Chain A
C-alpha cells in the first residue's frame, strides 16, 4: 500500500469572447461554433483558424445532434472521465459543423459506436456554462 498526497489548484479562468460564447451557449443548452474566413464552421470554436492562423468570423448556431467520426471504447474509466461505467470516446460532427467535438458517448457497448452513427447531446440537469453542461452523447433513437 502506498501513501499519496494531492496537489490541488482552484483555477478560475477568463474565457474571452469566443470560448465565452460557446460556454454561454452550453448554459442555454445549445451549441455555438465559429465560422472561418474560408467558410468552415469550427466546433468547438477557436479564436483563430487552425489552418491559416487568421482571425475567425461570426459565431454560428449548430445542432445538438450529429454523426460519429471516430470512437474508442473505454473498458475501465478513470475517475477523471465523464462517466463511471464503460463508454466510448467519440468525436462527433454536429449538424452544421465542419469539425467534430470530443466527449463521452454513453451507448452500452462498443459495437454501437461505429463511425457514421447518429448521436445527440444529453444535457446536464443543471447547466452553468462549462463543458460538463454536456453530460455526454447518447444514441439518437
Chain B
C-alpha cells in the first residue's frame, strides 16, 4: 500500500454574498486548499467530489461544480452522490495505483434551496416501506434517541449536555452556525420537535463547500510540514430498515473502527459526524472512545451541517488537529442513511 496523507483542508466561509452560486463558493475554496501547499490545479492527478443533486433539484448540478475544479484541459475526475468523505475514499483508492501522486477532493451543497430538507432526504429511503409514510431523518433520529435513552440510564439531560459542550467548543470556529455558552437546563426548557429531540438536538443545515488535498509518498513531506497520514480507512453498512436493527448500537461503526485500527494506539481526538445528539452517544460507544478522547472540538455537526460536506469536514477538522494542534493520532467519521446506517472511519497519524 502507498502511504497517503492529507496535506491541506479548506472550507468556504459561512457568510456568502447574497445568491452566491455553489460554483463560486467552491472555486476559492479549492484554490485555497491547493495554494496552502504551493500547488495549482495543474498539479492534480485525480479529482473526486461528493454532492447530491436532490439538494437543489437541478439535474447534473455537480457537473457545473467541475468548473470550480478547472476542467480544461480535460481532467481525470470522478464523482459520488454521497458525502465528500466517500469521494476522499475513492481518491485514496485511486492513489494506490501509483501513477499519480496528488488528488483533489471536494464537496458542496446548498441545502437552503430545498423547501424542506426533512422532506428532501426522505427520497433516499426504502420506497416501499419508508418513503410512503414520509419518515424523515429527524423522526428517525428521534426513534434512535428513544432507543438510546431506553438503556443505560441515559437521560435527555445527557443529550442537552452534549449540545452545551459543542456550542462552547464551537466558539472561535468561523464555520459554526451556532456557538456560545448555554446550560442543559436552558436547553431542556425548549419544546420538542420529535421527542426526545428538540431543535437544538439537530445540527442546523447550512450551505457549504470544502476541499481536501491528498498526496502520496514522499511528496507529502515536500509540500507539507506536518502531513496527516491516513493509516486506516474503512466503510461499513448496516441494514436499511430501522425495525431490523438495534437502533441503540452501531455495528457498522464498530467494525469500521476496528478495520481502521482505532484501537491500535487509541485516538486523542475524534471528529464524529453526529447530526443529531443521540448519534454522538452511539458512535462514541461503537468506537470505544473513553473520557480521555476529545470529541468534536470543532463543535461537530451539531453546530453546522453542510449537507454532503459534513463528513469531509470532520476528516478535515481531524487533519487540523494533527497539522495545527500537534496531535499524533486522531479520527474523522462520516455517516449516511437513516439512523447512522452507513459509517466511514478515517484514522490519521502525525509524523511523530
Contacts and interface: CB of A to CB of B under 8 A. Distances in A.
A and B touch in the complex (CB under 8 A): yes
Interface of A: 4-5, 7, 11, 13, 15, 19, 23, 42-44, 46, 50-51, 70-76, 78, 80-82, 89, 91, 99-104, 110, 115, 130-132
Given A72-B145, A91-B143, A102-B135, A50 B241 contact: yes
A93 B194 CA distance: 21
Interface residues of B, number: 35
22 contacts: A13-B127, A15-B128, A19-B128, A42-B244, A43-B243, A44-B241, A50-B239, A70-B146, A72-B143, A75-B194, A75-B195, A76-B193, A81-B139, A82-B133, A82-B134, A99-B243, A101-B243, A102-B135, A102-B241, A102-B242, A104-B133, A132-B133
Contacts of B282: none
A85 to B, nearest CB: 14
Nearest to A73: B195
B241 A78 contact: no
Nearest to A89: B139
A130 B132 contact: yes
B129 interface: yes
Nearest to B57: A7
Given A4-B115, A19-B128, A75 B133 contact: no
B142 A72 contact: yes
B29 interface: no
A132 to B, nearest CB: 6
Given A46-B241, A73-B195, 12 more contacts: A50-B239, A70-B143, A70-B147, A72-B145, A72-B194, A72-B195, A80-B119, A89-B135, A89-B143, A102-B241, A104-B133, A131-B128
Contacts of B147: 70
Query: Which of A5, A73, A82 counts the most chain B CB atoms within 10 A?
Result: A73
Contacts of A11: 127
Contacts of A43: 243
Contacts of B142: 72, 89
Nearest to A88: B195
Nearest to B58: A7
B196 interface: yes
B242 A80 contact: no
Contacts of A78: 116, 118-119, 134, 136
B161 to A, nearest CB: 20
Give the top 7 A-B pairs by smallest Cβ distance, nearest first: A80-B134, A50-B239, A72-B142, A73-B195, A70-B146, A100-B243, A131-B132
B160 to A, nearest CB: 17
Nearest to A4: B115
A73 B244 contact: no
Interface in B89-116: 115-116
Contacts of B132: 130-132
Contacts of B136: 78, 80
B241 A75 contact: no
Nearest to A82: B133
Interface string B193-209: 11111000000000000
A43 B244 CA distance: 9
Contacts of A70: 143, 146-147, 150, 247
B115 A71 contact: no
A7 B57 CA distance: 7
A92 B193 CA distance: 21
A44 B129 contact: yes
B129 A131 contact: yes
B122 interface: yes
Nearest to A72: B142
A102 B146 contact: no
A23 B196 CA distance: 32
A103 B133 contact: yes
B190 to A, nearest CB: 11
A74 B194 contact: yes
A103 B192 CA distance: 20
A72 B146 contact: yes
